[in-house]
Amino acid sequence: MKKKLLLLPLAIALLCLSLLATGCATSVDLTDYVSEYRSRIYIGTQDETTVFADYTVREVPYLADGNVGKTGTLFEIAVTVPDNTRTYTATYTVGGTEYRAELSFDSVRMVHTCSQSLPEPQESEIAFRITDDEDGVWEITAQSVAGEGMLDLPALLSAVSADQQERFAALTDGNTFAGEIYVRLLHEDEGNYYYVGLTDRSGQTFSILADANTGEVLATKEP
CA 73 to centroid of chain Cα atoms: 12
- Tell me the average confidence (pLDDT) per consecutive run of 10 residues in the chain, 223 residues long: 46 42 61 97 96 97 93 97 97 97 97 97 97 95 93 97 96 94 95 97 97 97 94
Shared domain check, 138 and 39? yes
Tell me: do 140 and 151 sit in the same domain. Answer: no
Q: What is the DSSP string of 80-145?
A: E-S-TTS-EEEEEEETTEEEEEE-EEETTTTEEEEEE--PPP--SEEEEEEEETTS-EEEEEEEE-
Enclosing domain of residue 129: 32-144
Is residue 81 within 8 A of residue 89, CB to CB? The reply is no
| Cα–Cα separations (whole angstroms), residue 122 to 34, 90, 143 | 21, 19, 12
211 and 116 in a common domain? no
Which residues fall within 8 angstroms of residue 115, CB to CB, at 6 or more apart? 74, 75, 76, 77
Do 57 and 111 have their domain in common?
yes
| Amino acid of residue 123 | E
What is the DSSP pairing of strand 172-173 with strand 176-177? antiparallel
Instruction: Tell me which DSSP letter residue 222 carries.
Output: -
Handedness of CA 176, 177, 178, 182 (dihedral sign): negative
The total number of structural domains that make up the chain: 2
Q: What pTM value is reported for the model?
A: 0.85
| 195: CATH | 3.10.450.40
- For the stretch 113-141, pLDDT in tens is 999 999 999 999 999 999 999 999 999 99
Based on the domain organization, do 50 and 96 belong to the same domain? yes
Q: What is the pLDDT of residue 148?
A: 83
Rounded (5°) CA angle 56-110-89? 65
Residue 23, domain member (yes or no): no
Q: Is 27 helix (H, G, I), strand (E, B) or coil?
A: coil
Q: Are residues 123 and 216 in the same domain?
A: no
CATH of the domain at 41: 2.60.40
| Domain contains 15 | no
Please give the Cα distance from 57 to 172 (Å, whole number): 23
Same domain, 114 and 158: no
Phi and psi torsions of 10, nearest 5°: -65, -40
Same domain for 157 and 133: no
Strand, helix or coil at 21?
Answer: helix
